[in-house]
Structure 1
Amino acid sequence: MLSRAAESLFWLGRYMERAEATARMISMGQRMAMLPGTQGQSEWTSLMQATGTPPPEERAITEADIVALLILDPESPSAVQGCLSKARENGRAVRTALTQEMWESLNEDWRYLESMDTQTARRQLVQILEWVRNKAAIFRGAVETSMLRTEGYFFLRLGSNIERADMTLRLLNVKYFLLLPETEVVGGGRDHHQWMSMLHAVSGLRAYHHNYAGDYAPWNIADFLLLNQAFPRSVAFSYGQIDGCLAKLEKNYGGAHNCQRTARAELNRLSRLDIHAVFSDGLHEFINDQIAKTARISKEVSDAYHF
């Protein structure tokens, strides 16, 4: 496969995953902003910080800012509309590598957000976020049920899982930024509902309950999102998928690369970690370190396959 085709498939996977993850993060921020005793500002500020989007200067961040900057901005690689546009551009660049079902899922309603202004999008925010999640699910279903398991598939899935690991880490950072101004002890009522909002955001409430039988302690939820190797949106599970995709690419192309060694080492490290040690050493520090390592794997993939 040509390196430019591999690059397009890799970033197609990343942008579709990012669009969905951003929608999920906004849903979580919306839930947190509605909690008793909140004014919404810190929730939206934390969301901007976690996505790395520059906030408006010298004024409080509002829901309207979130809609404009994280949903409707067509140029931003962090905004839903920008992600979907870039995903379609990458898909068009490798049209012959996509199945008809994949191409149709990319093209269906792709101009849906273009005609919306901020006020309209705010009124329809719940429906828009649901539409994004559904669009990503349809694309993912088309990939899984119609694409040959050749190198193109593994580059696409590699991009998706690198992005998923990164966005789960950033979602946890939303919680960290919210804790900065808090005076309430960890485990209080508001703290509990914020952690619960995270499980809703990743569609993990029932799976979590199956594992922990209703014990919603913060360290258990962090353990579930970081170290659980059976939950599809956990960091450890995503690293397992990354390692598997790189192993398939090694088999097809021959020769191991730094990205594979880095991913395997991180997967092994995550399997040995204890969440209480992570909290003791600093959850925020761990998350930032893991975001940096995920970015390193992405860079090493680009270097290994020349894109």
Structure 2
Amino acid sequence: MEHLLDEFLLYLRHERGASERTQVTYSTVLHRLLNWAQDRRIKSWQEFTLSDLTEYLNDEKARQVEDRPGGPLHDLSVSTLYLEIAAMKAFFKFCEAEKIIPLNIAENLSLPRRWKELPKALDSNQIDRLLTKPVKMAPKDYCDQAVLELAYSCGLRLSELCGLRLEQLHLEDSFVTVIGKGSKERVVPLGKIAVEILEEYLKLGRPALVKPKSPGNVFLTTRGSKFAPVTLWLRIKNRVRAAGIPESITPHCLRHSFATHLLEHGADLRVIQELLGHASISTTEVYTHVASARLRQVHQRFHPRS
């Protein structure tokens, strides 16, 4: 059983081009499933049934409660449950394709509706406060300003911002080439303000950050090195705090704001999908629920008969 898992992980890496994060997550989930099966004397993947997978998920819920002594009783989060099921679906689909099992038993496992945990988006006033330049600009401030502008104006992920290289910027033609999940490339337009902010950073900020061994990344730390996602997120959080934004936001908040504001202003969902680099339109559809929720809030607040 272990050997088949190894084959699947190789398939993920070399044929599916899955990100390292996806590979690690799926490996963790499936090895937990393997250990669970061995404890129940299930000797092969062919022996698994849909009932077994459902029982495993229920046991995972119970395990989470045990791992939080004294904590509140609660189910797995929607996102965690989504990953558990997605990993099993992908693995058993692989087994079916390789004719190891006659049918993908995980196909009928229900994915949760991810929109139950709606992504948070900042409103336009909060965005304006966040993107307001500091009175005094040091080199790192020019860097932070350009990061924030790209995150909101282009909807880039933290990992994409960290990995962005100089040759991916095409300021004269107002677009940026982004290497997203699974090494998939997409082209995202740059607005006039974003171009100006980037030009300012490349002229006044980045030269002061470059060191002899600095890489060709667009954004550099004060030590002249490439950003790690967690380090870049801490820099963004400092600006969020300075802007007086009270919400506890996530690293994806500016990306969510980018998509939500496009949708609210009439952008087509397929266009937003392409700009975000989503493989499936269902992933992008979450923003229709975000926009609807915001409309309901406005209606309840301002309509006299709400």
Q: TM-score range by the shorter chain?
A: under 0.3
Q: Where is the helix percentage greater, Structure 1 or Structure 2?
A: 1
Structure showing greater radius of gyration is 2
Structure with more contact order per residue of length (Cα contacts < 8 Å, sep ≥ 6)? 1
